[in-house]
Every structure is written in structure tokens, then in C-alpha cells.
A and B are shown apart, each in its own frame.
Chain A
Amino acid sequence: MTEIIEHDVLIVGGGGAGLRAAIAIAEADPSLSIAVVSKVYPMRSHTVSAEGGAAAVIRPEDSLEDHIYDTISGADWLADQDAVEAFVNEAPREMTQLEHWGCPWSRNPDGTVAVRPFGGMKIERTWFAADKTGFHMLHALFQTSLKYEPVKRYDEWFATQLLVEDGRCVGVTAIELRTGQVRGIVAGAVIICTGGAGRLWPFTTNAAIKTGDGMAMAYRAGIALKDMEFVQYHPTGLPGTGILITEASRGEGGVLINKDGHRYLQDYDLGKPLDVSDPEHPQKRTMELGPRDKLSQCFIKEQQAGRTFEGEYGHYVHLDVTHLGEKKINKKIPFVRELARNYVGIDPVYDPIPVRPVLHYVMGGIHTDINGATSMPGLFAVGECACVNINGANRLGSNSLTELLVFGARAGQEAVNFAAAQSKPQTGPLEAQVRDEQQRIAGQFINKTGGTERLVTLRTEMNEAMESGVGIYRDAAGTQAACDKMAELQDRFQHVSLDDHSLSFNTELTAALELENMLDIARASSLAANVRQESRGAHQRTDFPPPRDDDNWLKHSLAFRTDDGPRIEHLDVTITRWPPAKRTYGS
């Protein structure tokens, strides 16, 4: 039985971006029916794990110009400046909107919203809800979305493929997990908000669900993945698990020290350290409040110099917040304390926390314009799965949560406009596409026996190749090896067979589909890293050391899928008022 479900607008992904878009659509036109398809219940989405905060200019002494400049310089000039400008301009309104929807922002004594310093930002502009900002934002959005009747959720439906009719995106096929049935969900416009792909790497802050499904769906439908060589390592994750210790711990005054007790960042052109008792500490855009790419790179240099600790799970340094005192730690970063106590048995009130860089965020993603529109009519993308691009070669901490809101709202509005201007899709011809997809999944996975490969083997090999080839420092040989490995793994993936041949809630099937998605993206990411012959932001090539090469590489990369692997093209960066300049911190 083929079933087609019809809506006016379809959103794939129920995290921060998807929910913001859904609300934007419901408010723009209450007569539209909106579908939110998500492989997990919305409150399980990875937005929930974001900790430190969300940036928007609010203080009178701050300025939009400064936020724009911080973002562009943080991005090592690879961000599109028109997009950054729109983002920064709309950020305060969006953040206030979330306040009006009940988000429990931390407050100043006078009742106004409090802001904290963050890495790479010139002034305090990061709104926060203690250190569970993402959690509170997601729950506020989810709970608010419940009041809009036109929003119909398809929780625990796994989208597998875009439905395309005459070059226009008109929906997706999705597996209803509890029955295992593949259904078509058809709509006048589709917005992908499926998050990043941190699970390509073995050591990541990212949740298990971050497998780049939406990126892969768009990529396979012929849309380019942009700037996939740029991935962010967060400088402070717990060894072993990779659990995130928020940048807010440094924003509140925490310091990084090596095994000699030395605040090593001062040796890497990030400014002079102030004593932690100095009222000026922590200094903005300096030392521990430098950008994430540089801090992670400093760690590797320290490790190479033999000045890091060595433990069961590799090298690490210390993040010391003891001087903040129990009261401040409990008030400002209670989750840091909870996580450190639970997962490494250390109470940060009394002892420094062991930390090391950990894969955190994929700057690249589905190529979109400033409104979230992709090159395929009817298809939009928002959030970590998309690349607008405001993050360039390195995202500043606390910009991504705001990005979900600003571009979620924008894409929602654009999708409404698009759907209104188009005729309703014809469902008849789509039934065949849905049937084909059901047969493909049945043939390739559910009914298949006698395969020789296990998912875990392939996934582990993919993780290892990404870590060694497409990590903090790269070179031609390593990235090439990763490309070759992904091609090999894609071949071997054809020989996967599953233990689980049933339809009911088959999570081994979804794991297989996720791995298939990740291999596609991993291949694009490693080739993009191989092709870009310069060092910029988070993309550091040891064979093409800094400074960056604006003459040849001030441009985005676009990876297109072909049957023989990705093809890389290039696109100019939009430069408006901020000509490329030297990126300096700590002066």
C-alpha cells in the first residue's frame, strides 16, 4: 500500500531551526498545514545539548557593526558579508521573541536579560540560560509550537529521500518507525533542518543522531554541499566521552593550563594573560576568549611540544575554574559541574577539569542563499545542515543558536511565499517514487541476507579515517587517504547485511541508512579538504601553512555528487564593507 500524505509546507527535523520555521509559517498564514517530520521526538534534538549561549546585540554600549566584524573576522573572511549583516541585524529581535515565548534567560538584578562574554566576541553579547541555553531554547520552542494547531508532527519518522517533480522538491519519503512503512509526504515547499554531521568523527560532542541525513538527501538530489572542509573542534571536551564543557566556563573566567601549570595560550599570539583576580579578566578576544579554531590548534602544538598531560584517553590539558568559587559555579555553570562530577569524577569547585579538543560543529552544509533557499526550487535548508554562509572558516561560539532562529524564521517565510506562488504538486506520479523507495529499502536492507560487512566495522573505519585525515591539521596525503577510504567503504557498504529483518521500529535499519548518509558526506568533506590548498580558520594544511591565500582561495567550495565521487567547484565570497584583513586576537 502506498500512502501519500499532503501538507502545504513540510519541515524535516524538529530541532531549533525546524521548530522556529514551523512557528514562523503558522504565524505567517494560519490556514497552511505544516508537517514536521523528525527521526526523534523534537525535545530529543541535538539543540538540547547546546550550553553556553546565543549571541545578539542588546547592550547600549555594544553595536551591530562590532558583532558583524567579530563574526567576519572569526570566520577568517570566508563568511558572506550580506548574510552576516542580515543575521546580526535580525538577531536581537529573534532573541527577544524567544524571551516573549517564555525562554528562561538569566537576568540582571534590574530584570533585563543578562549577557556573558564569549570567544572571539569583542564585548558581552551572549544571552544565556545558565549553561543549558540550548535545552531551554529547544523546550521553549517545542512547547510554544504545541499551541499552533496547523503544526502536525510526525515524530519518529525517518526521512530517506527527497521527492522531486520536474526539478522541483515536493516532499520526502519517510519510514514510519513503528510500522516500518515507507510513506510519501508531499508539500508545496520543503525545509531541511536536520542538523550537522559530527558523528563522522569518532570523538565528538555530537549526539548519536547527528549523522547528516538532510545534507545527504540534498546532496544526492544534486544540490551542492558548500565549504565541507571546514569543521570545528571545540577546545574543551571531556576525554573519553567527548562531552562538551561549555565555552561559558572560560567566559566566566576559567583558564587553560598545560602540565607545567602554564597558561600556554599566551605563547601563540593570543595576547597577554591577566591574573584571574584582575577585575579585567577575562579579557575579550584574548587568551581563553580567543576563537575555537585557534585554541584547538594551540592544543595540538602543546601536545607536539610534550607539554600536555597523558591519560587513558589520550592527551589533555586542564581547564581551571576553581577560582570562580562554588557559588558562581553553581549559578553560572551548574551543568559543567554536574557533567564533570558524573563523567570524570572531578568537582570543578576544587579541581581542574581535564579537557581536549573535540569535534563539535560542521561549518559547511547544504548550499543556500540568504533566505535559506537552495538551488532546487521548493527546497530550503536551515541550521547546521545548511551553509548560508555566516560561519565561514570558523564559527564563533554562540552564533549558531541565534542562526537557527534568524534563518529558521526567514526560510519559513520564504517557504510560505514559494508554496503560495506554485501549483499544488501532483501526487499521482509520486506514488511510484514512494514504491521504489520502499522496494529499495526492503531489497537492500530488510530482506537481504548473506552480506559480509557489519555496520560497526564500516563506521569505525570511517571514523578513524576522518580523525586521521580530516582533523585539526590536514595535508595532501591524509586527505587523499580519507577520500580513498570513503570510496572503498561505499563499495563495501553494498555488502552490509543486518541482523534485524523486521519492520517494527527497526533501529538497525536506521543506523544503516545513517551510515550510508555519513559516507556520502565524509567523501565530500575529505575531498573538499584535499582540494583547498591553503590554511584558513579551522582548515589548517601543514603543507600549505598560514597565512591564508586570498588571491587563490577567497572562495567557497561546492561539492557536487557524481557517480564517480564528488566534484568540487568554487564560488566567490560576498564581500561588501569589510575587505579581507589580518585576523588578530589579543591586541
Chain B
Amino acid sequence: MFKAAKVIAVKDLRIELRSKVVLNQILPFVAVVLIIFAFAFNKYPALLVTVAPGLYWVTALFSSLLALQRSFSLESENNAKDALILYGLDPAGIYIGKVIAVLVEMVLLEVFLTLGIVFLYSTHLHELADLAFSSIVGTLGILAVGVTFSAMTSASKAKETILPLLLLPVVAPVLLSGTKAWENEIAGKAGLGDPWVGLLILFAAAFLALGTLTFGSVLEE
């Protein structure tokens, strides 16, 4: 399983290194969203600091939708998904590999996003290690469900509209817990013992387990 995961993750990241879709399209998207939020709160710029944790997670969630769609559009060209199955790769391995590849891309996007929040919104961050931990676990939760949904919808005619409709309600707890964890960490109130971080860990663990178990059913068609 881990060998297959490594093969898929390396393959996807190599494609990204060559095509630079995340760098050239999703990264600028993150920048645009950061600027648009500033317009939305133009009357009260100080509010941006207060709502920065929520904006961080909303932006992360929207960009993860794009990264997930990109990840599976790679497999829908020339029926590459069928080839993966014919190679005899373990479905659980394909699933883990996809999650890892998109996670690496998302971590880079979120570093950029955090810098944007610090410089554009004048937010002071403390407890950086805790912030990084909750961000990674939260993103892992989003991707654990997102990869499954993306695999289900990538070949359908309505793939652009169906993925957000499926994913956003399911990951609502990540948005809520991630925002609360960030608020507490920025206020220096709680670290890893924060129940919100616990909820993020539970979410990621539950959906990684479910994804690993059911990905075979999603692929084998």
C-alpha cells in the first residue's frame, strides 16, 4: 500500500513541477481572495484582524477545491484512472498517494496564505508550531473526504458544480474547529490540548480510515 502511495504521490508532484498549475493558477487565486476580502471589509479594516482565522480557513477550503479538481482531472484524461487500476495498484495506496500529493501542494499554498494574512491584514501570529499543526491536520481532514468525492465526480458532466456541493457541508466542522483553534492560538490561549484541535484530529482520522477502506469501491467500476 505504501509503495503505491509513494508512486502516486511522486507522480502527481512531478506533474505539478512540470505543469506548474498550482503555482501559476491556484496561488494567484489565493492572492485574489485575500484582496477581495479586504474590499468586503473596507469600512472596518480592523475587523480583518478579528476575522482573519475564518478568512484563512475559507480561503484554504476554496483553494483545496481547485487543487482536488486538478488532481483528478489528471486521471480523467485518456482514462488514466482505468490504467491505474489495470496496473494493479492497491486502491488504498492510490488514495493515500493522492492525499499526500495534494497535502504537499496545500501546505505550500497555506504558507503563502499565512504570509498574506500577516502582511496584508496586519495580524500578529504567536504559537507558530501550534498554528502549523492545526492547519496541517485540518487540511488533511478536508483532503481525506475531498479525494474520495473528487474521485467520484471527476468523470461526471457536472464535476465543477457537484464537488463543492458535496464537500462543503461535510467539512463544515473543519472550518468551525480550524477557525476556533486559530483564534485560540492567536490569542495565545490554548495549544495542542485545545478540544478544537482534538476535533480536527478526530475528523481527519475518521475520514482517512473511511477513505482507505472505501476507495476500492469508488474506483472499481
Q: Do A and B bind each other?
A: no
List B residues at the A interface (Cβ < 8 Å).
Answer: none
List A residues at the B interface (Cβ < 8 Å).
Answer: none
